[in-house]
Amino acid sequence: MSENQKNKKRVIILFGGRAAEHSISCISAGSVLRAIDRDRFEPIPVAITKEGQWVLPDVDPRNWNLGDGAMPEVNMTDESRPIMIDMAKGADGFFALLPGDNKAGSAAIGIGVLGDMTAGDVEDTDCEWLGHIDAVFPVLHGEYGEDGAVQGLLETIGVPYVGCGILASAVCMDKHFTKILLRAAGIPVTLGVTFDARLFDQASHFKENADEIFSAVAAVGLRYPLFVKPAWGGSSIGVTKVERQEDLVAALYAAYPYSWRILVEQGIDGREIECAVLSTNPLAEPRTAWPGEIVLDHKQSEGDEFYDFDAKYTDSSASHVEVPAKLPPKMLQKIRDVAVRAFSAVDGVGLMRVDTFVQEDGTVLVNELNTMPGFTSISMYPKAWAASGIDYQTVITELIDSVAR
Protein backbone atom coordinates (compact mmCIF):
# COMPACT_ATOMS: atom_id res chain seq x y z
CA MET A 1 0.00 0.00 0.00
CA SER A 2 1.43 3.40 -1.00
CA GLU A 3 1.81 6.27 1.48
CA ASN A 4 -0.90 8.14 -0.43
CA GLN A 5 -3.33 5.26 0.01
CA LYS A 6 -2.56 5.07 3.73
CA ASN A 7 -3.53 8.71 4.14
CA LYS A 8 -6.88 8.28 2.42
CA LYS A 9 -10.05 7.70 4.40
CA ARG A 10 -11.74 4.48 3.39
CA VAL A 11 -15.47 5.01 2.90
CA ILE A 12 -18.15 2.46 2.06
CA ILE A 13 -20.72 3.92 -0.33
CA LEU A 14 -23.78 1.84 0.52
CA PHE A 15 -26.63 1.79 -2.00
CA GLY A 16 -29.50 -0.16 -3.56
CA GLY A 17 -31.66 -1.67 -0.85
CA ARG A 18 -34.98 -3.41 -0.45
CA ALA A 19 -37.17 -0.33 -0.84
CA ALA A 20 -39.15 0.72 -3.90
CA GLU A 21 -36.55 3.44 -4.46
CA HIS A 22 -33.80 0.88 -5.11
CA SER A 23 -32.98 2.17 -8.59
CA ILE A 24 -32.87 5.82 -7.52
CA SER A 25 -30.43 4.87 -4.78
CA CYS A 26 -28.22 3.19 -7.39
CA ILE A 27 -28.18 6.32 -9.55
CA SER A 28 -27.56 8.57 -6.53
CA ALA A 29 -24.61 6.40 -5.50
CA GLY A 30 -23.22 6.56 -9.03
CA SER A 31 -23.31 10.36 -8.83
CA VAL A 32 -21.58 10.35 -5.43
CA LEU A 33 -18.88 7.98 -6.70
CA ARG A 34 -18.21 10.20 -9.70
CA ALA A 35 -17.97 13.33 -7.57
CA ILE A 36 -16.08 12.09 -4.49
CA ASP A 37 -12.54 13.43 -4.01
CA ARG A 38 -10.38 10.37 -4.71
CA ASP A 39 -7.25 12.19 -3.59
CA ARG A 40 -8.68 12.18 -0.06
CA PHE A 41 -11.01 9.18 0.00
CA GLU A 42 -10.91 5.55 -1.06
CA PRO A 43 -14.56 4.71 -1.83
CA ILE A 44 -15.73 1.10 -1.66
CA PRO A 45 -19.08 0.57 -3.40
CA VAL A 46 -21.23 -1.93 -1.48
CA ALA A 47 -24.65 -2.77 -2.88
CA ILE A 48 -27.76 -4.22 -1.28
CA THR A 49 -29.97 -6.27 -3.56
CA LYS A 50 -33.76 -6.07 -3.46
CA GLU A 51 -33.68 -9.32 -1.49
CA GLY A 52 -31.41 -7.77 1.15
CA GLN A 53 -28.08 -9.36 0.17
CA TRP A 54 -24.98 -7.17 0.69
CA VAL A 55 -22.43 -7.57 -2.11
CA LEU A 56 -19.46 -6.03 -3.84
CA PRO A 57 -21.19 -5.39 -7.18
CA ASP A 58 -19.80 -6.77 -10.41
CA VAL A 59 -20.56 -3.50 -12.23
CA ASP A 60 -19.23 0.04 -11.81
CA PRO A 61 -22.01 2.26 -10.42
CA ARG A 62 -20.31 5.30 -11.95
CA ASN A 63 -21.70 4.19 -15.30
CA TRP A 64 -25.30 4.59 -14.12
CA ASN A 65 -27.04 7.77 -15.20
CA LEU A 66 -30.55 9.08 -15.53
CA GLY A 67 -31.89 8.90 -19.05
CA ASP A 68 -30.00 5.72 -19.96
CA GLY A 69 -33.20 3.74 -20.51
CA ALA A 70 -33.91 0.96 -18.02
CA MET A 71 -33.43 1.88 -14.37
CA PRO A 72 -30.46 0.10 -12.77
CA GLU A 73 -30.89 -2.77 -10.36
CA VAL A 74 -28.39 -4.69 -8.24
CA ASN A 75 -28.65 -8.47 -8.45
CA MET A 76 -26.64 -11.31 -6.97
CA THR A 77 -24.74 -12.82 -9.89
CA ASP A 78 -22.03 -15.44 -10.30
CA GLU A 79 -19.47 -12.63 -10.13
CA SER A 80 -20.91 -10.83 -7.09
CA ARG A 81 -18.94 -11.07 -3.86
CA PRO A 82 -21.08 -11.39 -0.71
CA ILE A 83 -20.21 -9.19 2.26
CA MET A 84 -19.58 -10.71 5.68
CA ILE A 85 -19.45 -8.59 8.85
CA ASP A 86 -17.68 -9.70 12.00
CA MET A 87 -19.59 -7.47 14.42
CA ALA A 88 -17.01 -7.85 17.18
CA LYS A 89 -14.40 -6.15 14.98
CA GLY A 90 -16.49 -3.04 14.32
CA ALA A 91 -14.90 -0.83 11.66
CA ASP A 92 -12.33 -3.57 11.00
CA GLY A 93 -14.98 -6.25 10.52
CA PHE A 94 -15.95 -5.94 6.85
CA PHE A 95 -14.96 -8.83 4.58
CA ALA A 96 -15.76 -9.85 1.02
CA LEU A 97 -16.21 -13.50 0.17
CA LEU A 98 -15.37 -15.13 -3.12
CA PRO A 99 -18.02 -15.07 -5.86
CA GLY A 100 -20.60 -17.75 -5.23
CA ASP A 101 -19.65 -18.29 -1.59
CA ASN A 102 -22.80 -18.83 0.49
CA LYS A 103 -21.41 -18.02 3.94
CA ALA A 104 -23.31 -14.74 3.87
CA GLY A 105 -26.58 -16.59 3.52
CA SER A 106 -29.09 -16.55 0.73
CA ALA A 107 -31.22 -13.62 1.80
CA ALA A 108 -29.27 -11.14 3.89
CA ILE A 109 -25.96 -9.75 5.02
CA GLY A 110 -23.63 -12.32 6.52
CA ILE A 111 -22.90 -11.82 10.20
CA GLY A 112 -20.40 -14.12 11.81
CA VAL A 113 -17.07 -14.48 13.58
CA LEU A 114 -13.96 -14.76 11.46
CA GLY A 115 -11.43 -15.18 14.23
CA ASP A 116 -8.07 -13.41 13.82
CA MET A 117 -8.47 -12.55 10.16
CA THR A 118 -7.26 -8.99 9.60
CA ALA A 119 -5.38 -6.90 7.09
CA GLY A 120 -4.28 -9.04 4.18
CA ASP A 121 -4.28 -12.23 6.23
CA VAL A 122 -5.58 -14.62 3.60
CA GLU A 123 -4.89 -17.97 5.17
CA ASP A 124 -8.60 -18.55 4.76
CA THR A 125 -8.55 -17.61 1.09
CA ASP A 126 -12.30 -17.31 0.65
CA CYS A 127 -12.27 -13.98 2.53
CA GLU A 128 -10.76 -10.62 1.73
CA TRP A 129 -10.52 -7.95 4.42
CA LEU A 130 -11.83 -4.61 3.18
CA GLY A 131 -9.56 -2.72 5.54
CA HIS A 132 -10.38 -0.28 8.32
CA ILE A 133 -13.60 1.53 7.40
CA ASP A 134 -13.44 5.19 8.41
CA ALA A 135 -17.08 5.86 7.55
CA VAL A 136 -20.14 4.54 5.75
CA PHE A 137 -22.09 6.82 3.43
CA PRO A 138 -25.54 5.17 3.23
CA VAL A 139 -26.88 6.56 -0.04
CA LEU A 140 -30.12 4.69 0.59
CA HIS A 141 -33.64 5.93 0.00
CA GLY A 142 -36.72 4.49 1.66
CA GLU A 143 -37.31 1.53 3.95
CA TYR A 144 -34.48 -0.58 5.38
CA GLY A 145 -31.95 2.15 4.69
CA GLU A 146 -33.26 5.64 5.32
CA ASP A 147 -35.56 4.63 8.16
CA GLY A 148 -33.06 3.93 10.93
CA ALA A 149 -32.56 0.22 10.18
CA VAL A 150 -29.06 0.50 8.70
CA GLN A 151 -28.24 3.32 11.10
CA GLY A 152 -29.06 0.98 13.99
CA LEU A 153 -26.78 -1.72 12.59
CA LEU A 154 -23.89 0.72 12.20
CA GLU A 155 -24.47 2.15 15.68
CA THR A 156 -24.42 -1.38 17.11
CA ILE A 157 -21.05 -2.24 15.60
CA GLY A 158 -19.58 1.22 16.20
CA VAL A 159 -19.03 2.35 12.61
CA PRO A 160 -19.37 6.09 11.87
CA TYR A 161 -21.85 7.00 9.16
CA VAL A 162 -23.04 10.03 7.23
CA GLY A 163 -26.46 11.49 7.91
CA CYS A 164 -29.21 11.43 10.49
CA GLY A 165 -29.26 9.04 13.42
CA ILE A 166 -31.79 6.37 14.32
CA LEU A 167 -34.47 8.65 15.76
CA ALA A 168 -34.51 11.29 13.01
CA SER A 169 -34.28 8.64 10.30
CA ALA A 170 -37.20 6.65 11.70
CA VAL A 171 -39.41 9.67 12.40
CA CYS A 172 -38.82 11.35 9.05
CA MET A 173 -39.48 8.14 7.14
CA ASP A 174 -42.97 7.96 8.62
CA LYS A 175 -44.88 11.04 7.47
CA HIS A 176 -47.53 10.52 10.17
CA PHE A 177 -45.03 10.81 13.02
CA THR A 178 -43.12 13.58 11.26
CA LYS A 179 -46.27 15.69 11.49
CA ILE A 180 -46.73 14.87 15.16
CA LEU A 181 -43.23 16.11 16.05
CA LEU A 182 -43.45 19.19 13.85
CA ARG A 183 -46.83 20.18 15.31
CA ALA A 184 -45.41 19.75 18.80
CA ALA A 185 -42.62 22.16 17.82
CA GLY A 186 -45.16 24.71 16.61
CA ILE A 187 -44.30 24.26 12.94
CA PRO A 188 -47.31 24.39 10.56
CA VAL A 189 -47.98 21.25 8.50
CA THR A 190 -50.59 20.24 5.96
CA LEU A 191 -54.02 19.16 7.24
CA GLY A 192 -54.76 15.48 6.88
CA VAL A 193 -55.98 12.19 8.30
CA THR A 194 -54.15 8.88 8.69
CA PHE A 195 -55.62 5.42 8.06
CA ASP A 196 -54.47 1.97 9.14
CA ALA A 197 -55.20 0.00 5.98
CA ARG A 198 -54.63 -3.32 7.73
CA LEU A 199 -58.12 -2.86 9.16
CA PHE A 200 -59.72 -2.51 5.72
CA ASP A 201 -61.34 -5.22 3.63
CA GLN A 202 -58.68 -6.48 1.23
CA ALA A 203 -60.99 -8.63 -0.87
CA SER A 204 -63.12 -5.65 -1.89
CA HIS A 205 -60.07 -3.43 -2.51
CA PHE A 206 -61.28 -1.30 0.44
CA LYS A 207 -64.69 -0.63 -1.18
CA GLU A 208 -66.44 -2.09 1.86
CA ASN A 209 -64.78 0.64 3.93
CA ALA A 210 -65.77 3.53 1.67
CA ASP A 211 -68.28 5.12 4.06
CA GLU A 212 -65.80 4.96 6.94
CA ILE A 213 -63.10 6.58 4.79
CA PHE A 214 -65.40 9.34 3.50
CA SER A 215 -66.62 10.13 7.02
CA ALA A 216 -63.09 10.41 8.43
CA VAL A 217 -62.05 12.75 5.60
CA ALA A 218 -65.11 14.94 6.11
CA ALA A 219 -64.66 15.02 9.89
CA VAL A 220 -61.34 16.87 9.66
CA GLY A 221 -62.65 19.27 7.02
CA LEU A 222 -60.64 18.10 4.02
CA ARG A 223 -61.70 19.44 0.61
CA TYR A 224 -60.85 18.08 -2.81
CA PRO A 225 -58.34 17.86 -4.38
CA LEU A 226 -56.57 15.59 -1.91
CA PHE A 227 -53.27 13.76 -1.97
CA VAL A 228 -53.05 10.13 -0.87
CA LYS A 229 -49.58 9.00 0.28
CA PRO A 230 -47.96 5.94 1.79
CA ALA A 231 -46.73 6.98 5.25
CA TRP A 232 -43.23 5.77 4.51
CA GLY A 233 -41.33 5.91 1.26
CA GLY A 234 -40.45 8.66 -1.18
CA SER A 235 -39.89 9.65 -4.80
CA SER A 236 -43.69 10.06 -5.09
CA ILE A 237 -44.06 6.27 -5.37
CA GLY A 238 -47.63 5.26 -4.50
CA VAL A 239 -48.80 8.90 -4.35
CA THR A 240 -52.07 9.88 -6.06
CA LYS A 241 -53.77 13.22 -6.52
CA VAL A 242 -57.51 12.72 -6.02
CA GLU A 243 -59.93 15.22 -7.54
CA ARG A 244 -63.22 13.41 -6.75
CA GLN A 245 -64.58 11.43 -3.82
CA GLU A 246 -65.33 8.43 -6.05
CA ASP A 247 -61.58 8.01 -6.74
CA LEU A 248 -60.44 8.15 -3.12
CA VAL A 249 -60.81 4.49 -2.18
CA ALA A 250 -58.88 3.33 -5.26
CA ALA A 251 -56.06 5.74 -4.39
CA LEU A 252 -55.82 4.32 -0.88
CA TYR A 253 -55.65 0.80 -2.28
CA ALA A 254 -52.92 1.89 -4.73
CA ALA A 255 -50.83 3.19 -1.80
CA TYR A 256 -51.28 0.05 0.29
CA PRO A 257 -48.46 -2.02 -1.31
CA TYR A 258 -45.97 0.56 -0.04
CA SER A 259 -47.29 1.18 3.47
CA TRP A 260 -50.17 -0.04 5.62
CA ARG A 261 -50.27 3.43 7.21
CA ILE A 262 -51.70 5.83 4.62
CA LEU A 263 -52.13 9.58 4.75
CA VAL A 264 -54.86 11.58 3.05
CA GLU A 265 -53.84 15.22 2.94
CA GLN A 266 -55.38 18.47 1.86
CA GLY A 267 -54.21 19.60 -1.58
CA ILE A 268 -52.44 22.92 -1.04
CA ASP A 269 -52.87 25.91 -3.32
CA GLY A 270 -49.30 27.08 -3.02
CA ARG A 271 -45.81 26.74 -4.41
CA GLU A 272 -43.63 23.75 -3.56
CA ILE A 273 -40.31 25.08 -2.31
CA GLU A 274 -37.47 22.86 -1.13
CA CYS A 275 -34.63 23.86 1.20
CA ALA A 276 -31.35 21.97 1.61
CA VAL A 277 -29.88 21.80 5.12
CA LEU A 278 -26.25 20.94 5.93
CA SER A 279 -25.00 20.43 9.48
CA THR A 280 -21.47 19.09 9.91
CA ASN A 281 -20.75 20.73 13.28
CA PRO A 282 -23.21 19.89 16.09
CA LEU A 283 -22.15 23.02 17.99
CA ALA A 284 -22.96 25.38 15.11
CA GLU A 285 -26.24 26.51 13.57
CA PRO A 286 -27.26 24.29 10.64
CA ARG A 287 -26.61 25.91 7.28
CA THR A 288 -29.25 26.28 4.60
CA ALA A 289 -28.90 26.71 0.86
CA TRP A 290 -31.03 29.07 -1.15
CA PRO A 291 -34.50 27.49 -1.35
CA GLY A 292 -35.31 26.07 -4.76
CA GLU A 293 -38.42 25.31 -6.78
CA ILE A 294 -39.17 22.48 -9.17
CA VAL A 295 -40.93 24.02 -12.15
CA LEU A 296 -43.09 21.61 -14.14
CA ASP A 297 -42.52 22.55 -17.76
CA HIS A 298 -45.30 20.30 -19.04
CA LYS A 299 -47.92 21.22 -16.46
CA GLN A 300 -49.96 23.55 -18.64
CA SER A 301 -49.45 21.85 -21.97
CA GLU A 302 -49.79 18.21 -20.98
CA GLY A 303 -51.76 18.32 -17.75
CA ASP A 304 -49.16 16.99 -15.29
CA GLU A 305 -50.90 16.84 -11.93
CA PHE A 306 -47.89 16.99 -9.63
CA TYR A 307 -44.16 16.34 -9.43
CA ASP A 308 -44.41 12.58 -9.85
CA PHE A 309 -41.77 9.85 -10.29
CA ASP A 310 -41.38 10.39 -14.04
CA ALA A 311 -40.98 14.15 -13.70
CA LYS A 312 -38.36 13.59 -11.00
CA TYR A 313 -36.26 10.93 -12.64
CA THR A 314 -37.15 9.67 -16.10
CA ASP A 315 -38.14 12.72 -18.15
CA SER A 316 -35.50 15.45 -18.08
CA SER A 317 -37.76 17.73 -20.15
CA ALA A 318 -40.65 17.51 -17.68
CA SER A 319 -39.22 19.96 -15.18
CA HIS A 320 -36.33 22.19 -14.24
CA VAL A 321 -34.86 23.52 -11.01
CA GLU A 322 -34.82 27.22 -10.14
CA VAL A 323 -32.44 28.19 -7.32
CA PRO A 324 -33.11 30.49 -5.67
CA ALA A 325 -36.85 30.27 -6.18
CA LYS A 326 -38.42 33.41 -7.58
CA LEU A 327 -39.68 34.76 -4.28
CA PRO A 328 -38.96 37.95 -2.30
CA PRO A 329 -35.75 37.79 -0.19
CA LYS A 330 -37.74 37.98 3.06
CA MET A 331 -39.79 34.95 2.05
CA LEU A 332 -36.69 32.99 1.05
CA GLN A 333 -35.21 33.70 4.46
CA LYS A 334 -38.45 32.69 6.18
CA ILE A 335 -38.31 29.33 4.40
CA ARG A 336 -34.70 28.88 5.50
CA ASP A 337 -35.65 29.66 9.10
CA VAL A 338 -38.50 27.13 9.01
CA ALA A 339 -36.15 24.52 7.54
CA VAL A 340 -33.69 24.96 10.41
CA ARG A 341 -36.50 24.70 12.97
CA ALA A 342 -37.79 21.51 11.36
CA PHE A 343 -34.29 20.02 11.17
CA SER A 344 -33.73 20.72 14.86
CA ALA A 345 -37.20 19.51 15.90
CA VAL A 346 -36.45 15.98 14.68
CA ASP A 347 -32.83 15.98 15.91
CA GLY A 348 -31.39 16.13 12.40
CA VAL A 349 -27.72 15.40 11.73
CA GLY A 350 -25.61 15.92 8.63
CA LEU A 351 -28.06 16.64 5.87
CA MET A 352 -31.73 16.98 5.10
CA ARG A 353 -34.03 18.44 2.47
CA VAL A 354 -37.05 20.21 3.90
CA ASP A 355 -39.99 20.36 1.48
CA THR A 356 -42.49 23.14 2.05
CA PHE A 357 -45.61 24.73 0.61
CA VAL A 358 -45.63 28.52 0.42
CA GLN A 359 -49.16 29.93 0.34
CA GLU A 360 -50.27 33.30 -1.03
CA ASP A 361 -50.74 34.72 2.47
CA GLY A 362 -47.10 33.97 3.29
CA THR A 363 -47.74 30.86 5.38
CA VAL A 364 -44.98 28.26 5.09
CA LEU A 365 -46.20 24.69 5.66
CA VAL A 366 -43.73 21.83 6.01
CA ASN A 367 -44.72 18.97 3.73
CA GLU A 368 -41.99 16.34 4.16
CA LEU A 369 -38.47 15.89 5.56
CA ASN A 370 -35.96 13.86 3.56
CA THR A 371 -32.99 12.61 5.57
CA MET A 372 -31.17 11.23 2.51
CA PRO A 373 -32.32 13.43 -0.36
CA GLY A 374 -31.69 12.39 -3.93
CA PHE A 375 -28.10 12.82 -5.09
CA THR A 376 -28.75 12.30 -8.80
CA SER A 377 -27.43 14.76 -11.36
CA ILE A 378 -30.78 16.59 -11.49
CA SER A 379 -31.63 16.41 -7.78
CA MET A 380 -32.47 19.54 -5.84
CA TYR A 381 -30.03 18.99 -2.95
CA PRO A 382 -26.72 19.24 -4.87
CA LYS A 383 -28.14 21.88 -7.22
CA ALA A 384 -29.23 24.08 -4.31
CA TRP A 385 -25.79 23.98 -2.70
CA ALA A 386 -24.06 24.62 -6.01
CA ALA A 387 -26.22 27.72 -6.47
CA SER A 388 -25.31 28.75 -2.92
CA GLY A 389 -21.57 28.53 -3.53
CA ILE A 390 -20.74 25.02 -2.30
CA ASP A 391 -20.01 22.52 -5.06
CA TYR A 392 -21.13 18.90 -5.02
CA GLN A 393 -17.70 17.46 -4.18
CA THR A 394 -17.27 19.86 -1.25
CA VAL A 395 -20.66 18.86 0.20
CA ILE A 396 -19.63 15.18 0.06
CA THR A 397 -16.23 15.95 1.59
CA GLU A 398 -17.72 17.94 4.46
CA LEU A 399 -20.23 15.20 5.26
CA ILE A 400 -17.59 12.46 5.36
CA ASP A 401 -15.02 14.55 7.26
CA SER A 402 -17.61 15.34 9.92
CA VAL A 403 -17.95 11.67 10.92
CA ALA A 404 -14.84 9.77 9.72
CA ARG A 405 -12.22 8.91 12.29
- Residue from 220, 237, 226, 233 nearest 261 by CA: 233
In this structure, the answer to whether residues 260 and 324 fall within a common structural domain is no
E strand spans, 122-165: 127-129, 135-138
Do residues 172 and 367 lie in contact, with contact meaning Cβ atoms separated by under 8 Å? no
| pLDDT of amino acid 29 | 96
In this structure, the answer to whether residues 324 and 345 fall within a common structural domain is yes
- Residue from 17, 26, 43 nearest 393 by CA: 43
| pLDDT of amino acid 377 | 72
Angle at 189 between CA 205 and CA 215, to 5 degrees: 35
| pLDDT of amino acid 100 | 67
| pLDDT of amino acid 111 | 57
CATH code for the domain in which residue 258 is found: 3.30.1490.20
In this structure, the answer to whether residues 105 and 128 fall within a common structural domain is yes
In a domain, 225, yes or no: yes
Strand 54-56 and strand 41-48: pairing? antiparallel
Local structure of residue 314 (DSSP, 8 states)? I
Distance of CA 390 to the CA centre of its chain: 21
Q: Which residues of 226-247 are buried (b: 16+ CB within 10 A; e: fewer)?
A: bbbbbbbbbbbbbbbebeeeeb
In a domain, 26, yes or no: yes
CATH code for the domain in which residue 118 is found: 3.40.50.20
| pLDDT of amino acid 5 | 62
Do residues 270 and 293 lie in contact, with contact meaning Cβ atoms separated by under 8 Å? no
| pLDDT of amino acid 42 | 98
In a domain, 255, yes or no: yes
Domain that holds residue 236: 192-266
Number of domains comprising the chain: 3
In this structure, the answer to whether residues 101 and 118 fall within a common structural domain is yes
In this structure, the answer to whether residues 137 and 74 fall within a common structural domain is yes
Do residues 157 and 233 lie in contact, with contact meaning Cβ atoms separated by under 8 Å? no
In a domain, 47, yes or no: yes
pLDDT tens digits for the chain (405 residues)?
Answer: 455 566 899 999 999 999 888 999 999 999 999 999 999 999 999 999 999 999 999 889 999 887 666 789 999 888 889 999 999 999 999 999 988 665 544 434 555 545 555 544 444 457 899 999 999 999 999 889 999 999 999 999 999 999 999 999 999 999 999 999 999 999 999 999 999 999 999 999 999 999 999 999 999 999 999 999 999 876 678 899 999 999 999 999 999 999 999 999 999 999 999 999 999 999 999 999 999 998 877 554 444 455 444 555 545 556 788 999 999 999 999 999 999 999 999 999 999 999 999 999 999 999 999 999 998 878 899 999 999 999 999 999 999 999 997
In a domain, 61, yes or no: yes
d(CA 82, CA 282) in angstroms, rounded, equals 36
Counting Cα atoms < 13 Å in the Cβ hemisphere of 403 gives 27
In a domain, 65, yes or no: yes
Domain boundary among 266, 299, 331: 266
| pLDDT of amino acid 235 | 62
CATH code for the domain in which residue 367 is found: 3.30.470.20
In a domain, 401, yes or no: no
E strand spans, 98-230: 110-111, 127-129, 135-138, 192-196, 226-230
In a domain, 398, yes or no: no
In this structure, the answer to whether residues 204 and 243 fall within a common structural domain is yes
